[in-house]
Amino acid sequence: DAGVTQSPTHLIKTRGQQVTLRCSPKSGHDTVSWYQQALGQGPQFIFQYYEEEERQRGNFPDRFSGHQFPNYSSELNVNALLLGDSALYLCASSSTRATQYFGPGTRLTVL
């Protein structure tokens, strides 16, 4: 049974560009949450998707958007990239309110 997978592993973009990150949840999980982790800090909650809807959102601007597909996989989109968006982006899957399982993350560098 594959765990949570994320792609790509690393990504380099320039300011103003747009990026799409992808996540496939662990088998049997229907909930996907996205987090941003800056160097030396704990992950910050971006939003959570359930039944293809954004169920809750953290304190992130509208430049951050997402989508969940019928197979429960998810995408995180970030528009108009800023230098401060450079971080490790983590995806976690779960059944609602149960243990969250994290993927390996996508390292985004904005130049």
Residues that bind other proteins (CB under 8 A): 4, 6, 33, 35, 40-45, 48, 50, 55-56, 58, 88, 90, 92, 96-105, 107
In the complex with other proteins, which residue's Cβ is closer, 16 or 50?
A: 50
Which tokens in the block code for residue 57? 């959102």
One-letter amino acid for residue 54 of the chain:
E
Handedness of CA 107, 90, 56, 77 (dihedral sign): positive
> How many CB atoms neighbour CB 99 within 10 A?
9
The least distance separating other proteins from the CB of residue 32, rounded to whole angstroms, comes to 11
Which tokens in the block code for residue 99? 């243990």
The least distance separating other proteins from the CB of residue 48, rounded to whole angstroms, comes to 5
In the complex with other proteins, which residue's Cβ is closer, 6 or 24?
A: 6
